[in-house]
Structure 1
Amino acid sequence: MILRRLARPLLASIFISGGINALRQAEGHAEAAKPLLDSTVGRYADKLPAQVPTDPVTLVKVDAVLKIAAGSLFALGKAPRLSALVLLGSLVPTTVAGHPFWAEKDEQAKQQHLVHFLKNLGLAGGLMIAAADTHGKPSLGWRAKKAAQVASKQAQSIQKSAGKQAQTWQKTAEKQTRKARKRAKQLTS
């Protein structure tokens, strides 16, 4: 549909742009993210494997690359549901770290952060819709339910057919038994 082809790049543009900006200014973004990272990743840094980055600059760069990659895939319509989920997952910590309006003392700065926080909530809503969009095709849940119904009907049909076959075999066995008894009676008399 043409609407998706227009809407996806529009929605993805802010993430691609933000990712590029974060790569260019990783230290500044890391400074803004440091309080959130210290209270989350920093708390468990000693328990994480050595391969997992814990320093804010590296985490900001990883987040930036994720935004650029997922945003590009989303804009191109490649794996749109998955890329929307990746963008949504990236948006949550970015919003909390970047726009803590609740901690701001200056009223003008507080208002500015609130506007950006609400903008990001709107983006999150768009990404949730995109993540659930099945392009008019039935959802996975519906398809699974339908497949279960078809399998159930097939099983019932097989069971019914097997029951009829069993009845036929039983009748044949009874008929053969009667014949065998009749012959045995003839031979004994």
Structure 2
Amino acid sequence: MLVRRLARVMIAAPLVRDGIEAVRQPESHEDAARRGVDLVDSSVGLPRPLSDSELTVVVRVHGAATALAGIALILGKAPRRAALVLAALTLPTALAQQPFSGDGGDDKRFWSLVGSVGAALTVALDRQGRPSLGWRVSHARSQRSAAHS
């Protein structure tokens, strides 16, 4: 139990710091955000490009959501859901940092964020030793059929 709590703090703390930094100093995150927006635009197309002020708002909202999800994970408030939200919010940030496109991505940052996504997904899937809903349903059905026999 203590190990789970410590692991959650270690997973969430850097993401909370990044989220708060994005809210306070969005300009330090705007290059990566612009690459991410360009990636989305080239994949699905946007009706119009985002202006610099709109991009700043997107960076701040994303940072605030990341920080709040990380804080929820640290406090143990719906930890599986908070971890899933963290993974979903961190994945686009990692993709915007991709080093493979040759457009200025950051190799170390990319792999760090990929690790964070993996860690958050691991926490999201952790049932803390409790059986899954599927197992409980099948177990109840087998118990019921055994009782009827």
Q: What TM-score do you get using the length of structure 1 for normalisation?
A: 0.65
Aligned partners of 1:31, 1:115: CA distance in 2, in Å? 16
Q: What residue in structure 2 maps to residue 100 of structure 1?
A: 98
Instruction: Indicate if the aligned counterparts of 2:36 and 2:93 stay in contact, CA closer than 8 A.
Output: no
Moved over 6 A (4+): none
Greater relative contact order, per chain length (Cα 8 Å cut-off, separation 6+): 2
Aligned partners of 1:29, 1:115: CA distance in 2, in Å? 16
Match of 1:146 among 116, 139, 143: 139
1:164-179 correspondence to structure 2 within 5 Å: none
Instruction: Indicate if the aligned counterparts of 1:74 and 1:80 stay in contact, CA closer than 8 A.
Output: yes
Q: What TM-score do you get using the length of structure 2 for normalisation?
A: 0.81
Shift of 1:130: 0.5
Aligned AA for 1:80? P
Q: What residue in structure 1 maps to residue 5 of structure 2?
A: 5
Q: What residue in structure 2 maps to residue 33 of structure 1?
A: 33
Aligned partners of 1:19, 1:57: CA distance in 2, in Å? 13
Aligned partners of 2:6, 2:73: CA distance in 1, in Å? 11
For structure 1, list consecutive stretches of 5 or more residues without a partner in the other structure: 47-54, 161-189
For structure 2, list consecutive stretches of 5 or more residues without a partner in the other structure: 49-53
Aligned AA for 1:31? D
Q: What residue in structure 2 maps to residue 175 of structure 1?
A: none
Higher helix share: 1
| Residue 132 (str. 1) matches residue 125 (str. 2) | yes
The total of aligned residue pairs comes to 143
Aligned partners of 2:35, 2:5: CA distance in 1, in Å? 38
Instruction: Indicate if the aligned counterparts of 1:15 and 1:68 stay in contact, CA closer than 8 A.
Output: yes
Instruction: Indicate if the aligned counterparts of 1:31 and 1:56 stay in contact, CA closer than 8 A.
Output: no
Query: Larger deviation: 34-43 or 76-85?
Result: 34-43
Describe the shift of the 1:7–1:102 C-alpha distance in structure 2 as closer, same or farther (beyond 3 A). Answer: same
- Aligned to 2:134, the other structure's residue is in SS state helix
Shift of 1:126: 1.3
Aligned AA for 1:123? S
Shift of 1:24: 1.1
RMSD over aligned CA atoms reads: 2.6
- Aligned to 1:43, the other structure's residue is in SS state coil
| Residue 21 (str. 1) matches residue 8 (str. 2) | no
Aligned partners of 1:39, 1:18: CA distance in 2, in Å? 21
Structure 1 vs Structure 2: percent identity of aligned residues? 33
Determine which structure has more spread, i.e. the larger CA radius of gyration: 1
Shift of 1:148: 3.8
Instruction: Indicate if the aligned counterparts of 1:8 and 1:74 stay in contact, CA closer than 8 A.
Output: yes
Aligned partners of 1:114, 1:72: CA distance in 2, in Å? 27
